[in-house]
A = this chain, B = another copy of it.
Amino acid sequence: MKERLILVTNDDGVDSKGIRAAIEVARTFGRVVVVAPETMQSGKSSSITLYDPLFLRHVHEEERLKIYAFSGTPVDCVKMAFDYLLKDEKVDLVISGINHGSNAAINVIYSGTMGAAIEGSFYNCPSVGLSLTSHDPDADFEASIEWGRKIIGDILEHDINLPLCLNVNVPEGRPEEIQGVKLCRQNRGSWREEFFLREDPRGREYFWLTGRFYDDEPDAKDTDEHALADKYVAVVPVQADMTDYSQMKNLAKIMK
């Protein structure tokens, strides 16, 4: 059997600790090409760079591993990989992460990690976003590496239906603290922001955006937030059809 080819990307940038953890996961399954952002791209969602030139840098090469840094967003990185660098190869899997911080619940729509994972699923291979619920740059990735390997091993060894994109969130803690894995749906809720107003040395005012997540269904048992709170790894399959089918009937009456 031909060795698998795995694309690794992230949103925390090519130098983050999390991407080294993702590379460790990926190397279990085949040879690895990394195309990751030069700079921090957290919160970049599915952004694409339409009005700026993009620069590609060859960072490192060793047996079964090539690393590139790209000046764009996480989605730009996926596009650069599939539509340029690996155009003539068959990519078998995309891993995005391991993200420093949770991408559960509504975070999925803001996350650059998940933007890249969703984009990866458009290229006829399974695509997995991996996140650890710790923002610490020096976080302990051991449990997320272990569980990432297990979940990816399972999908590579079984019959799956494409497109497949998984949003995998691993709770903070040592491997032995994790209770197992749960298949979940995305928890409902949204962020409300607090803008911190400051003044620069020249008297110009500026803001920092900070926020807090409000859980719209704290009692639901089948959501990613609930699984994480119980120290389970939360796995949510994700798709890109944003149509709100539940509105169709009522709107059909209104829009006659």
Contacts and interface: CB of A to CB of B under 8 A. Distances in A.
Interface of A: 40, 42-51, 53-56, 72, 75-76, 79-80, 83-84, 106, 108-110, 115, 118, 122, 151, 154-155, 158-161, 164-165, 167, 181, 183, 185-186, 188, 190-195, 198, 204-209, 211, 235-248, 250-255
A249 B158 CA distance: 13
Contacts of A55: 204-207
B198 A53 contact: yes
15 contacts: A43-B49, A47-B47, A48-B209, A54-B207, A83-B194, A83-B195, A108-B242, A158-B253, A158-B254, A183-B255, A186-B243, A235-B251, A237-B243, A237-B245, A237-B251
Give the number of times this chain occurs in the complex, counting copies.
Answer: 2
By secondary structure, the A interface counts as mixed
A240 B204 CA distance: 36
Contacts of A237: 243-245, 247-248, 251
Nearest to A189: B122
B110 A185 contact: no
A209 B49 contact: yes
